Amino acid sequence: MMKSLYVLLLGSLIALGACQSVKINSDSIDRNSFIGERILWPDKISPQVNTVTVNIVFPPHYKILDDANPTIKLMTAEGKLIEDRLMDKIPFTFNLNKPINSAQLLAYISIYYCRDDDIAMCLKKNVLVEFNIDKHLVIHTLDINYPVKEVVD
């Protein structure tokens, strides 16, 4: 019994340890040392975003780790923090109504998730979404839909 518990704990530590933390503070994201998935958003966005909606879609049999809500930080390319939110439900919507005075908006999303039948094997996913700004676009809503890929054994 003790040997199997040790292996289970060791496996969990290895799985969590494989996803290093992102060097992030309230002022900036170090994009050069970012470890995680980077996504360049295909469409340009307006510098005036009124509402942001984040929808994280999990593969079958996966779910958010209880008591570990995802987070989102919005920053300019220069490192100015625009918004920092704990997502208490998915999809998560919030009002932004702040001008984005930058050529890019960065959205850093951090997710802890598990198989719904095996909470001993939980994973952390860091996602950095990069949006290019077009100052000629009118105010609009930003919908970030992120599908978490299934982990293959």
Residues 6 or more apart whose Cβ sits within 8 Å of residue 130: 38, 39, 40, 41, 104, 105, 106
pLDDT at 69 over 60: yes
Our CA angle for 56, 134, 31, nearest 5°, is 55
| Per-residue pLDDT band at 27 (split at 50, 70, 90) | low
How far apart are the C-alpha atoms of 104 and 119, rounded to whole Å? 37
User: pTM of the prediction?
Assistant: 0.79
Q: Is the pLDDT of residue 140 over 90?
A: no
Mean pLDDT of the region 28-32: 69
What mean pLDDT is reported for the chain? 81
Reduced to 3 states, what is the DSSP secondary structure of residue 65?
coil
